[in-house]
Each structure stands twice: as structure tokens, then as C-alpha cells.
Amino acid sequence: MDELDRKILKVLQKNGKFSNVQLAEKVALSESACLRRVKLLEESGIIERYVMLVNQRAVGLGNNAFVRVTLDGQQRSVLSQFEEAIHEVPEVMECYMMSGEADYLLRIICRDNDDYIRIHDVLTNLPGVHRVQTSFALRAVVKKTEIPL
């Protein structure tokens, strides 16, 4: 990956809807060279996918809860069952296996406290869950979608 590839990625991270013509113009490349580079970035897995970001608050899901989940055990089967089940909870936006006291850290979106109580009931009934500890975000200070290149 060279400086031109980084330039392409920076532009696409800001606006993934740019046409190849617009992108080529922004990075000062011919259209064919730009398209070739984008295809190589896609094929290599550097460009993972293209998405649209929806404003959570605008669709009534403005609350973020960060949930630490501790499981009953560390056996591969316990971890696998939890990881398979957590994929089925639509309000879970991110799930990370963690080191430290909790086994997983989740970012969950919800409408309000009543909505979170419903989600909490779902979480506590997932396979292997021993304890769930929740912190509510008061406001976002930094929220990025672009990674530094």
C-alpha cells in the first residue's frame, strides 16, 4: 500500500458514494488507474465493505449502553455458544472479547431505559452468562468511522 492508496482510502472513508470519476479527480489519477487501485484494495481485503451510516438518534435509538458480560466459564464451548447467540441480538452494535475481569464488552443501542430493560433480559438469558454490568453513555465526545492512515 503506497501513498496513493492511502489517499484513495482517506477519500472513500469520508464518502463511500463517490463515483470512480469523482474519486479519480480527488486523488489526481486517471479513471482507469483509480479503478484498478480500488479493485486491488477490495481484493486484498483492505477495503472490507461499503456501508451507509444511519443517525441513531434520528431513528429513535439515541442511547448507548456499554455492557460488561462475565460468563460461567472459559471453556471453548461456553465461549462459542455465547458468541453465536450474541449475533442474534440486533441491538448489539459491537462485541469484543476482553482481557481483565469481564469476558466481553458490548456496545448496545436502545430507545430508553425501558427498552434497555428488555434487552437486559435477553442478555441475561444468553448461554453461559453469569453477570451483566452496564454503564450508560451520557454523550459522545469522540465518535469516528475513519481509521488513521
Closest CA to 8 of 41, 54, 56, 50: 41
Mean pLDDT of 64-78: 97
Instruction: Tell me the pLDDT of the chain averaged across its residues.
Output: 97
For the chain, what percent of residues have pLDDT higher than 90? 100
Check whether residue 64 and residue 132 sit in a common domain.
Answer: yes
Mean pLDDT of 89-107: 98
Check whether residue 78 and residue 121 sit in a common domain.
Answer: yes
Query: pLDDT class for 18, splitting at 50, 70, 90?
Result: very high
Mean pLDDT of 115-143: 97
CATH number at residue 97: 3.30.70.920
Check whether residue 66 and residue 131 sit in a common domain.
Answer: yes
- pLDDT at res. 130: 98
Structural domain that includes position 7: 3-43
Mean pLDDT of 133-147: 96
Query: pLDDT class for 43, splitting at 50, 70, 90?
Result: very high
- pLDDT at res. 95: 98
Q: Is 96 exposed, middle or buried (0-12, 13-18, 19+ CB in 10 A)?
A: exposed
User: How many domains are contained in the chain?
Assistant: 2
- pLDDT at res. 17: 95
Mean pLDDT of 17-36: 97
